[in-house]
Homo-oligomer: A and B are copies of this chain.
Amino acid sequence: MRLLPVMEGLHSSEALNPSFLQAFFQRVEELAARPSDFEVALRGVMIATVFAEPSTRTRLSFEAAAHRLGASVLTVADAKSSSNAKGESLADMAKVIGGYADLLVLRHARDGASRLASQATDVPIVNGGDGRLGHPTQTLLDLYTLHRAWGDFAGRTLGVMGDLRHGRTARSLVWALAMLQVRIVLLPGQGLDWEASFERRLLDRFDYRLRWGKHPLFGDWTGNQEARILEPKGLVQKSLFLEDVPEVDKLDALYLTRMQVERGADIGQGSYPGITPAQLQNPLLATCKLLHPLPRLAELPPSIDDDPRACYFEQARLGPVVRQAVFLAMLRQDRWPLPPLTPVPTGNADHRLGPCPNANCVSHEEGLSAPWRLIGSKRRSFLCAFCDTLLQVEYAGCRSTNKVHALSSAAAHRIRPENLQPFLSRQDAERAGYQWGG
């Protein structure tokens, strides 16, 4: 049996939207409540888990989900050593394994691997973590854990702590939380903050603003009592306006993360932010759920595992059932329909903006030109359609007049969209045969 997938894959949390999530959470609850109704939901279906980075929990969680639905499982636990040894491209690998299986779960070291692979095969790809970019099923599982704890998301405040630079789980979750209008307190370790462009993109996309808030505990964690806060512009909370840098009085959840040493993380002089039993007495955390994607290191001591606010093992335990719902969404829309995911444009290579500046972008390894997609209305910002790296251009060429203008000029604004050729520099434009038009 080969089912026609209605959804073509799940690559990043950008695809999530409120109506999808609401129905998705309900599906998860049905799966948990009546597992026997779904025992043969994927009978005859073949699911391949292709993991090019080491992982135990994520792979097993997907495989447990597949077995619970009656699917057969093909496993590549060490894709790196086998395919790479023979120099095969990711695209070919996806095409070939997509010929054996009805759905691929992919984990890969490069940013954007899931999106690239999905273009090579007809079967849906579910991103099991690629590079520092995406981990949407972890995000679904984090969101579902919060949904169980909170009910509604609106008006909630979540602190995200630790290695924001190398970890994909925090980026992926925060994007989805912004879509859900949650206030986010950023508590990165020293030197472990994420790139500014990610934050700028988030602020633009969800009409958020950046503020500062303070609390003594923040100082314990990050060395700085003041923390950046991302919040919906629409949200007015009194306590935040009384002073220049108001005190934060409550965290509804704290998302801790491990230092990703295997991706080059290094805390240098400072200490890595973690929580202690004593800190749990602080009123800031009185009703604060503790989440962690696991595995954990010293940031989360086992002595607090029995605290009722500790949700991380429940979070892990929910992995399979959440992934069951993902498989059903991908493969059984006929029987168990869900609202559509938000499509993410695939971009195009015609923009000729050159190679992606992100050294970890999957395009380099595959020898492809990065496909760029225009975002926003200012004709200035482009994202690599694989890895979401932001590129801002300063010059606009017109394909009809063969002239290039500063983006801020009136001439630039008169270029018709279909004639627009962006350039990073005047030299690039001149090298491409465009004349300077002012």
Interface residues, chain A, with chain B CB atoms under 8 Å away: 1, 35-36, 39, 44, 46, 48, 50, 54-57, 60-61, 63-64, 67-68, 72, 74-79, 81-83, 85-89, 91-93, 95-97, 99-101, 258, 261-262, 294-297, 302, 313, 316-317, 319-320
Contact = CB atoms under 8 A, between A and B. Distances in A.
Contacts of A85: 54, 262
Given A61-B100, A83-B295, A76 B95 contact: no
A207 to B, nearest CB: 37
A436 B42 CA distance: 72
Nearest to A295: B88
Contacts of A44: 39
**Which among A56, A76, A97 has the greatest number of chain B C-beta atoms within 10 A?**
A56
Nearest to A305: B95
Contact of A313 (B57, B60, B96): B96
B54 A96 contact: no
13 contacts: A46-B64, A56-B76, A60-B100, A64-B100, A64-B101, A78-B78, A86-B262, A88-B295, A89-B302, A92-B294, A93-B295, A96-B316, A96-B317
Given A64-B74, A85-B262, A262-B85, A96 B294 contact: yes
A57 B97 contact: yes
A313 B55 CA distance: 29
A56 B97 contact: yes
Nearest to A39: B44
B320 A100 contact: yes
Given A44-B39, A63-B74, A78-B78, A295 B55 contact: no
Nearest to A314: B99
A55 B61 CA distance: 23
Given A46-B64, A56-B97, 19 more contacts: A1-B36, A54-B81, A54-B86, A56-B76, A56-B83, A60-B76, A60-B101, A64-B74, A67-B72, A87-B295, A88-B294, A89-B302, A92-B295, A95-B313, A95-B316, A96-B294, A99-B317, A99-B319, A100-B317
A218 to B, nearest CB: 26
A316 B100 CA distance: 9
Given A78-B77, A87-B297, A313 B99 contact: yes
A6 to B, nearest CB: 22
The list of the 5 closest CB pairs from A to B, nearest first, reads A88-B295, A99-B317, A54-B82, A67-B72, A64-B100
Contacts of A82: 54-56, 77
A356 to B, nearest CB: 19
A174 to B, nearest CB: 22
Nearest to A44: B39
A83 B58 CA distance: 11
A316 B60 contact: no
Contacts of A296: 88, 92
A126 to B, nearest CB: 17
A302 B95 CA distance: 12
A49 B337 CA distance: 35
